[in-house]
Structure 1
């Protein structure tokens, strides 16, 4: 999502821009040439990363070698510092400008990463206004650019139009379920949110639920609904997460970017997360 919003802004400024690397459908909509689909890297937690380490390391190595052959004007690594910083350092050492978008939370934990970033990147694009000063004090160029979601979500939430689009009446109480966008997240979080929805429906039979699904993952969600939320008045949406947030009265949401989206839509939320027990420790 963040990469697609950034790419959209870049294409607006430089319409002839060519962009390639690792990305998903939203980026492809802007003409992005996806050498690898982004969901190949969509893992989180120590156990999950270890399980896929060989594949992820192989993609990173192959990406680095291909970029060195292509010699782009710049490489922009979006978030994912454990994947991107080593790659950025390799490219920077070979004269390719390395830019990192979305600063790691060096101000909150693992602060020593800022030292690694000094050798890895030419510039950091920050989403929080206090971050550039931290980098400046460590000799790293950084610019506050704000969060692209602030431009993507209107100040005046289109609640009425969104409720009409989702066939919700003014009298309906709607709950949006957002269990995450990665397959590994959905596998752990969706059953919890669906179980909560079933209990809420039992206590308040009039409730309506909407669940936006990332394109391509409907087949993962549908059996979970049958198992954990059979009989729940639930509408499954293909994408349309912003409509769901605009229309709902409250959201049960996985911790992550979606919580910021819910805040920008001015929706009250209950934030949840779940993962492999070993990763949790």
Structure 2
């Protein structure tokens, strides 16, 4: 029997015996196929969506368009709302009932009671009655008056231009213009005693102007001293040539200034009277005459 050889403990010096064999080089086509397989393995799978099945169309039944169905739904909803509103609006019969008390009272405690008269349960509705009446309409125009002024006669340093009450057609201030060329800001007092009525000076004074004007027609301005203050009066729309006064002439209270006419810018025979405080500022002639007529200064 041959002797067994003991394993040697010496290290292996030939390293090439342990390396694997080198891979066999691939052809160009095989290398391209291997690269495509590797790319497919690395790419994530995409889920394929299956199309939903289409609804089956039942033959033999009419198909309505969506617009017709929506209009029917709207009409049906409106009809239901009308029915509900009419049902709620219908008055029900008037009934009177007394509900049983739901609260249990303690022993010895008496509840409150209410007695209602039979007349309170009468369902008859009592309605108020009223009458309609039309009141009389009173015509009123701003700056226009139809009353009479000038009631002071006799003595006094200041007097009205006419001896008795005369109609007034237009007052001082804003008014509705009586003509297309007339002013709405009326600065005087219009008196209508009648055409040809004599006009008297309201106080002693000196004639400043006596002449004709395109607007005032035949007119006169007189300066007065009343209570130590200068007050001027203007008389307009007189008959042409009816004034005997001249510029610078002194006049006494009541002297004739002229005759009532309709010269200048006028719609009828009347006296347009103005009162100027300080000789230049127009003030209400009616208010001034009511305060000073008949007084002695």
Tell me the TM-score normalized by structure 1.
0.20
Higher helix share: 1
Tell me the TM-score normalized by structure 2.
0.19
